[in-house]
């Protein structure tokens, strides 16, 4: 973010800080209805393995309280609701009403138990008391947040001491050849798929650009440490195309 000019990036474009959230909202209003279908097509279904790894790394168990930020259509929340049981609680939070509605309808159709609640919430200003959650996840959402440092501090505040943050996000491929192939896929094929399936190439062009503008693995690890997390680490998946960052509230 460029504070002196009060601008930030929206993909490769510089926009006024106060306009980014609105622009991001427009993207997800547009893609919400076919979000799951596009995820399966874009990743050839591998996103399910990335999410399974996140669940396994969470340490969530019966009785825990979990916050799934940018929970979208509820893949993680569904699994967490089964793990925490009747004495636990899962809150699926998303800033985008369209995504939240799709997620709620999908989970109701799947017969999710009464331990799951929904909240329209901004990751930068989480509307929960201090020291509330045993675990917080944010999957493929942090790169769309205007002020990532502010959001990380907000997550730290609402975690219980000893609680765990998991950030699942696209990252930097670790091999030059893979990075070149990935760039071609992202900037050529992804917008084309968006146009053919959702009649919206621009939203998927933004999503590709937002991945390139997101901090790389070491930078995000440092941001989490600066926000106050300890024992910060990350695990690369699929050659670094995706990384899972972990941190603990002291």
The annotation places the binding site for S-adenosyl-L-methionine at: 73, 94, 122-123
- What is the rounded distance in angstroms from the CA atom of residue 83 to the CA atom of residue 90? 10
The two three-digit tokens of residue 105, written as one number: 């309808």
CA distances from 114 to 89, 193, 209 (A): 9, 37, 38
Which positions make up the binding site?
73, 94, 122-123
- What is the rounded distance in angstroms from the CA atom of residue 195 to the CA atom of residue 175? 29
CA distances from 132 to 29, 66, 71, 116, 237 (A): 30, 9, 18, 15, 30
Angle at 89 between CA 135 and CA 230, to 5 degrees: 10
User: In 3D, which of 238, 131, 226, 145 has the Cα closest to residue 247?
Assistant: 226
250 alpha carbon, distance to own chain's centre = 23
């Amino acid at each position: 973010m460029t504070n002196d000019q009060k601008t930030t990036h929206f993909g490769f474009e510089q926009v006024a800080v106060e306009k980014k959230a609105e622009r991001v909202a427009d993207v997800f209003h547009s893609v919400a209805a076919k979000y799951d279908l596009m995820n399966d097509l874009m990743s050839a279904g591998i996103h399910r393995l990335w999410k399974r790894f996140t669940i396994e790394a969470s340490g969530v168990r019966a009785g825990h309280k979990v916050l799934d930020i940018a929970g979208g259509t509820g893949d993680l929340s569904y699994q967490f609701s089964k793990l925490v049981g009747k004495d636990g609680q899962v809150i699926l939070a998303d800033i985008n009403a369209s995504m939240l509605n799709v997620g709620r309808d999908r989970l109701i159709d799947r017969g999710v138990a009464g331990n799951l609640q929904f909240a329209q919430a901004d990751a930068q200003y989480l509307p929960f008391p201090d020291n509330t959650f045993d675990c917080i996840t944010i999957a493929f959402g942090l790169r769309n947040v205007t002020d990532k440092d502010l959001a990380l501090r907000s997550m730290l505040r609402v975690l219980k001491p000893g609680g765990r943050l998991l950030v699942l996000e696209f990252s930097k491929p670790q091999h030059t050849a893979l990075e070149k192939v990935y760039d071609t896929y992202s900037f050529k094929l992804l917008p084309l798929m968006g146009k053919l399936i959702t009649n919206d190439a621009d939203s998927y062009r933004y999503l590709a650009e937002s991945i390139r503008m997101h901090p790389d693995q070491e930078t995000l690890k440092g941001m989490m440490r600066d926000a106050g997390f300890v024992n910060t680490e990350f695990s690369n998946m699929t050659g670094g195309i995706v990384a899972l960052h972990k941190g603990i509230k002291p």
